[in-house]
Every structure is written in structure tokens, then in C-alpha cells.
Amino acid sequence: MWAMSMHNQTTQMNIPLRGLFLILCVALIFSCSSINKPYNYKRFPDNYAEIKHEYETYYHLTACKPGETIASIGAGDGITEIQISCFVEGITWYLEEIDSSRLYQFEDVLTYHEKLIGSSIKADFNLVMGTENSTDLPHGIFDRVLMLNVFHEIEYREGIMTEIHQLLNEDGVLIIMERIGKKAGEIHGDCKYPKLMEPGFLQEMNDYGFILKSEQLGEEMSNLMFYTFESKI
């Protein structure tokens, strides 16, 4: 496992050391430039107001609290978790991803946001490479496990969902964000996976041993929903 400390963050990554040289070179190039987006991606904010809008419109519904230990499964480059940490301090994050190229982008994304807001982000970030069959996350420590727009992309869900019971601490909760279909046959515009239909989704979660605690609408147009589940195992 490779670890790096920077500002108020401790970043850990179980990625092969051959990637270290590339990461350092990219970081050096970025640090010598102006505040440019790490890559051309529409979700990158242009100012603090846009970060605040994203949080107050959507991601406050994850209900993350200061000082919590939180896992995010399928976290990509960590942009959402970084933006949450702009408003909720002291979180210990475990960002899990099966695509190493996304995790390699994390430091650039973090640096971009810190330059944008003009201060360091007060959080600890641990980057974890999982597989299609296992998250490789530590067991029993998480106050909250997030699955943000990722559940529908997991083809073999039973193993991962069973593992989540082991990841949560005694009072831990699972948060799933999904754009739920309004009629059968709808697909996601980006990944082209079928959208979940709520009755079938909730039954599937019950079969996996989770009890629905609450559900909240994040956006009406896309039927973006945030579900909070507790383990009944």
C-alpha cells in the first residue's frame, strides 16, 4: 500500500508503485499551472458557488456528519466526496474504486478544489482498489457507506451487498443514490444501463437483508432519489 500525507489529508492507495512516478509528474505539472480543470469533464465546478449549489441541492441528502468514517463504493476520482468535505469537516473517507485510472486522478481533483476554494480540505482520504467481487474495505468501522449512482452498474450485486453488512458498524447506514425509472424500459443516458424501478429495487434490497429507513427526492426531473437503509442482519 502506498501512502502520502498532504495538508490535512492522509491518502492511502494500494496501487502498484510503478504508478507513483506518473502520479508525481502529473501533480508537479498541475501545481505549476493556473487553476485548470484536471480534465475536460462537465461536472467540474468553475467556482465555489457551484460547489455549494451541488452540495445544497443534492449531496446534503447523504447526511454525512463531521468526524464520521465513511466508505464510498465506486467513488471514481473522488469529486463528490471532496465536495462534501468542503462543507462537512473531519470525515475519514475510504474511496473504493475498481478502475485504477480513476483513483490516479484523485490528487489532481483534490488540488483543483483546494485552489478553487482557497484553503485546504480538512478530511482524511484513503484510496482503495476493489474488485468486481469484493470492495477490499475494512470491516466493522463505517458509520455510513455510500453508493452514489453506482448500484445499477454492478452486474453481480449479491456478493458486494452481502459484504456491506460486514463493513457497517453497529449503528451504520447504507446510502444509495439512483435515478429511478418512471416507466419500464428506461435507460441511463450516459452508461446505457437500465434504470431501476423502485418496487423491484426495494424488494431486491430486502432480499439482501436491508431495511428501508428513509427516502428523499433530490431532483424531480431525473427522479433522483436518496435511500437510507439499515442492516437487519
Q: What is the DSSP string of the chain?
A: -EEEEETTEEEEE---THHHHHHHHHHHHHHTS-S--SSS-TTS-SSHHHHHHHHHHTGGGG---TT-EEEEET-TTSHHHHHHHTTS-SEEEEEEES-HHHHHTHHHHHHHHHHHHTS---EEEEEEE--SS---PPSS-EEEEEEES-GGG-SSHHHHHHHHHHHEEEEEEEEEEEE--SSTT-B-TTT-PBPPPHHHHHHHHHHTTEEEEEEEEEETTTTEEEEEEEE--
Structure pTM?
A: 0.83
Q: Residue 193 is which amino acid?
A: Y
Whether the per-residue pLDDT at 38 is higher than 90: the answer is: no
CATH architecture of the domain with residue range 2-231: 3-Layer(aba) Sandwich (3.40)
Pairing of strands 210-219, 224-231: antiparallel
- Residue 145: all three cell numbers together: 457507506
The owner of cell 418512471 is 182
- To 10 degrees, the CA torsion angle through 200, 204, 210, 213? -10
Mean pLDDT estimate for the chain: 85
Q: How many CB atoms lie within 10 A of CB 198?
A: 15
Compute the distance between CA of residue 104 and CA of residue 19 in angstroms, rounded to an integer: 8
| pLDDT, tens digit (0-9, with 9 covering 90-100), for 73-119 | 999 999 999 999 999 999 999 999 999 999 999 999 999 999 999 99
Average pLDDT over residues 22-41: 42
Where are the chain's structural domains? 2-231
Query: Which tens digit of pLDDT belongs to each residue from 145-192?
Result: 999 999 998 988 999 999 999 999 999 999 999 999 998 888 877 777
Copy the grid coordinates of residue 153.
452498474
- Specify the pLDDT at position 194: 87
Rounded distance between C-alpha atoms, residue 82 and residue 48, angstroms: 13
